[in-house]
Amino acid sequence: MAGVELGGTKCICTLALGPGLVIEQATVETTDPDTTLGSLKAILRGWWSRHGFRSLGIGSFGPIRLDPRAADYGHILATNKPGWSGVDVLGELSCEFPVPCGFDTDVNAAAFAEVAWGSGRGFTDFAYVTVGTGVGVGLIVNGRATRGLAHGELGHMLVPRMAGDTFPSVCAFHDNCVEGLASGSAIKARMGAEHLAGVAPDHPVWDIVVDALASLCHNMVCSTAPQRIAFGGGVINRQPHLVPRIEARLKASLAGYISLPEGRPYIVEPELGGQAGPLGAIMLGIEAEAAAAAPALTVAAE
């Protein structure tokens, strides 16, 4: 299987059969659409000629159109990422390869991978939150990713600001959404820094981040009630102290109205670590191949 995780900062191409069978992997910086998609297609062409692959999975940053009946199916919609609104990600990456193709958000893909192989094993209701350039949530309810008017965009959920926080949101669409207040982009803007690796765990900026992310979790618990929430992404990877702090803040905000599971952490880091997204794209390819092989349902004439 071949998979492409298209992220806001970087893209990861993976050729694999599963978590223990990764054949090749390559990383491409996310810049403008032509350069980025051209580099990704070059990698896929190389794998196609040398190895071949049975299916292709694409997990993309969003928002994206996931309704196959829509004229802009496979396109990125309105996004904070300059130059990417309206880009046909699915068509550009899949057109040269005559294999089944799965397409979903990068966070839904990561959530599926964690349910199959990681921290979501055994759960039918699970959430994967990534905190990086933006904030995204892959939300699995009754074993399926949420669908409706569109896919979920919980990173753009409006949350109350922490008392005294007046720093402008970095989201071009919303003043008080989680992504605008607590994403890696927001933290860098608050710090006036290019990188976050050197920010001490006791820096006050993390109090604001914890508050916003715990509010996000509070709303998820009170709505779809996931059995576990996993937090990944570049910010969490570099600041793992945030995970128990988010859970503690969540428990305080719930105030005993809803009880979290006893005897184990409720909010965890993904077991697949940084491979949750890349392996999520592989999972989309596996599911696409299985769907293509399934017999078509027919309705007998009366």
pLDDT on residue 296: 60
> Per-residue pLDDT tens for 206-265?
999 999 999 999 999 999 999 999 999 999 999 999 999 999 999 999 999 999 999 999
> Per-residue pLDDT tens for 65-106?
999 999 999 999 988 889 999 999 999 999 999 999 999 999
**Residue 302 confidence (pLDDT) above 50:** no
Which CATH superfamily hosts domain 2-106?
ATPase, nucleotide binding domain (3.30.420.40)
Task: Calculate the average pLDDT of the chain.
Answer: 94
Pairing mode, strands 22-29 and 126-131: unpaired
Q: Which residues lie below 8 Å from residue 254, measured CB to CB, with a gap of 6+? A: 218, 221, 260
Give the residue carrying structure tokens 């892959």.
Answer: 138
Structure-model confidence comparison of residues 193 and 162, the more confident one = 162
The DSSP annotation for 30-59 comes to --SHHHHHHHHHHHHHHHHHHT--S-EEEE
pLDDT on residue 18: 87
- The answer to whether residues 153 and 62 touch, using CB atoms and an 8 Å cutoff, is yes
Q: Where are the domains positioned within the chain?
A: 2-106, 119-270
d(CA 207, CA 225): 24
Read off the pTM. 0.91
- The answer to whether residues 193 and 203 touch, using CB atoms and an 8 Å cutoff, is no
Same CATH fold assignment for domains 2-106 and 119-270: yes
Whether domain 119-270 has CATH 3.30.420.10: the reply is no
> Per-residue pLDDT tens for 194-213?
777 778 999 999 999 999 99
